[in-house]
Structure 1
Amino acid sequence: MLDDLALFVAIVEAGSLNAAAAAEELPPATVTRRLQKLESQLGYRLLNRSARRMQPTAEGWQYYEQCRPLVHALRQATRRLDASLSAVSGTIRVLAPVNFASGLLTPAWVSFMQRYPAIRLELELSNRLQDMVSSGADLAIRVGSLDDSSLMQRRLGSAALVMVAAPAYLARAGVPHDLASLEQHELIVAEPLRTWRLHRPGDGAEMVLQPQARLRVNEMRLAVEMAEAGIGVLLCPLLQCRQEVADGRLVRVLPGWMPQPRHVYAVWTQRRYLPARVRVLLEHLAQFAENCPALNEPA
């Protein structure tokens, strides 16, 4: 009904049905049909029409005078909203895991802000899974399986995982040779990797472990440091311990069992339309991830 109301205002201002049809880019028959529908819904005639002229009825004038400012205000608000959504400027609020966003993605944030100086970026980093709606975030970076089917998503890449321990720990506790012996070791569980999903490429065997942790921590960097100090065996992203492995401060444990990689996603709540400022960030992150070896390499 709102569209038909706006069309009625356009008819009165254009002075005729044909002129309104041309202005609104509609067939004249469509304009006539929609006017008749509006009159039927209201229960009274809005226009007196003849072959030569068109004149609003008394009720039509009253209806026009009441509706005209509302229609014009709505059109102005719509134009302002369209301009806002189309502008590559304004504030973007992003939720992301601490170590992932402050390490691997740091170059992406830097290059984005340099490229789009009119955008203000608010990064809220937390290892806890936050609700996007209540937080008012425009975009979130999520690592791992997505359980919320209401979120739209775009996969950015995959983060390889490795099991590691310090040489000093293995010298003291022994080197595990199978999963049964692994469960006898002191384990470090870093949130959110509460479940260890492993597969063996040689024969396709798969195993899911619920590790009993001697140490549980919700910050991955600290978990790596504790493993390096000899506290126990850790499952962690390769990108968080690559240098320690390269230097020999950490070594891989049970290399025949490969942890399942964790997929990395950008997610958002709108189902149909993203503001331009959010779209350019999404594309920027996708391009960065495509060229980032850490998000495209096997363990």
Structure 2
Amino acid sequence: MNKLQAMEVFVQVVDAGGFTRAAENMQLPKATVSTLILSLETALSVKLLHRTTRHVSVTADGAAYYERCLRILSDVREAEESLSRTRLSPSGRLRVDAPTGLSSDVLVPALPDFFQRYPDIQLELGSSDRTVDLVEEGVDCAVRGGQLVDSSLIARRVGILHFTTCATPEYLARFGMPAHPNDLLRHQCVNYFSARTGKIFDWDFTRDGERVQVALPGMIALNDTNSYIAAGLAGLGIIQMSNFLVEPMIKDGRFTTLLDDWTSDPLPIHVVYPQNRHLSAKVRVFVEWVAELFSNHPGMRLPKAPPPAARATSFEVAI
């Protein structure tokens, strides 16, 4: 039995939901497909599929093996791509993770351009504000905002985030306009906490050499960008959020900016990926595409050329 071929057949059967469709997709006799699956189950001493006369479904062991097969087959294709001309036309499944706001407001609207350039890539884009474990969860690369922590991943800096402090006009009419960051201590603020550690993030402000960093009172703390903005719009307090996310709501009057003569520390945006994805053609083109996308975004472009790739691991911030 050719183990790689058997894995490919097994993945096709799961994806197609049956032996007949998988055989048609692979242009193989149905008997060959059935024999390879049976040989694979015999070699593994595990039942991979539940079979009835009308339906094929994956077992719990089969589902776990399916995910491993996807990774193995992807690695094999990437090894071949790195040594062949197919690097010019990358293909296959690409699993990416990105923060909710950045995904919905920047990445997804630009994806038609990405698919026009790379029509053979099948993108799986996970959107959440938690820090995923790329290796454990089988993610090829992730877009993240914040400071680098350690050296388990490769990172490329592709952009920068600026922040705005704002609240609804109704909130300010009721509670007044703060003139100094310390005035926020007498206000209600919507806090953001780390999905990984549970820590509530402090707010920072700088003006003419004066720096203020404060832990602020609030009735609510959240760890999801969309919910965070929604809390601000609901009048639950003052928020501090990425410029590009709140700018439309400032323009239409739903938010009013505060402390405009103060600035908050900008944060870098990186694309991070495991070391074994360094030569992957599909990861390489995605990273280059994201870097180009952000370089054309007025709210996130780097002030100068980014430094060489660095080694980093997980970090997070609401974007």
Shorter-chain TM range is 0.5 to 0.7
**Alignment-derived partner of residue 110 in structure 2:** 108
**Alignment-derived partner of residue 10 in structure 1:** none
Matched position secondary structure for 1:162: strand
Deviation at 1:154, TM superposition (A): 0.9
Query: What does 1:7-18 correspond to in 2, within 5 Å?
Result: none
Deviation at 1:281, TM superposition (A): 0.9
Counterpart residue type for residue 119 of structure 2? P
Distance 1:142 1:80, change over 3 A: closer
**Alignment-derived partner of residue 166 in structure 2:** 164
Distance (whole Å) between structure 1 residues aligned to residue 277 and residue 190 of structure 2: 42
Q: Deviations over 1:140-165 (max 9, x none)?
A: 10111121322211111112101001
TM norm structure 2: 0.63
Q: Deviations over 1:34-86 (max 9, x none)?
A: xxxxxxxxxxxxxxxxxxxxxxxxxxxxxxxxxxxxxxxxxxxx997642335
**Alignment-derived partner of residue 199 in structure 1:** 206
Distance (whole Å) between structure 1 residues aligned to residue 302 and residue 243 of structure 2: 10
Query: What does 1:18-57 correspond to in 2, within 5 Å?
Result: none
Distance (whole Å) between structure 2 residues aligned to residue 253 and residue 189 of structure 1: 16
Among residues 226, 229, 233, which one is paired with 1:224 in the alignment? 229
Matched position secondary structure for 1:221: helix
Matched position secondary structure for 1:286: helix
Name the structure, 1 or 2, with higher relative contact order (CA <8 Å, separation 6+): 2
TM norm structure 1: 0.67
**Alignment-derived partner of residue 148 in structure 1:** 150
Counterpart residue type for residue 192 of structure 2? A
**Alignment-derived partner of residue 119 in structure 2:** 117
**Alignment-derived partner of residue 182 in structure 2:** 180
Counterpart residue type for residue 291 of structure 1? N
Matched position secondary structure for 2:218: coil
Matched position secondary structure for 2:130: coil
Matched position secondary structure for 2:139: coil
**Alignment-derived partner of residue 25 in structure 2:** none
**Alignment-derived partner of residue 235 in structure 1:** 240
Percent identity for Structure 1 against Structure 2: 34
Counterpart residue type for residue 84 of structure 1? E
In structure 1, the gaps of 5 or more residues are: 1-77
Deviation at 1:297, TM superposition (A): 8.4
Task: Tell me whether 1:269 sits opposite 2:274 in the alignment.
Answer: yes
Among residues 191, 215, 223, which one is paired with 1:189 in the alignment? 191
Contact 1:92 1:122 (C-alpha < 8 Å) held by counterparts: yes
Distance (whole Å) between structure 1 residues aligned to residue 253 and residue 244 of structure 2: 15
Matched position secondary structure for 1:293: coil
Deviation at 1:212, TM superposition (A): 2.8
Q: Deviations over 1:72-108 (max 9, x none)?
A: xxxxxx9976423353111111111112112111233
Contact 1:194 1:211 (C-alpha < 8 Å) held by counterparts: no
Contact 1:152 1:271 (C-alpha < 8 Å) held by counterparts: no
Deviation at 1:189, TM superposition (A): 1.4
Matched position secondary structure for 1:181: helix
Among residues 249, 260, 263, which one is paired with 1:258 in the alignment? 263
Greater radius of gyration (CA): 1
Contact 1:142 1:264 (C-alpha < 8 Å) held by counterparts: yes
Distance (whole Å) between structure 1 residues aligned to residue 274 and residue 205 of structure 2: 32
Higher helix share: 1
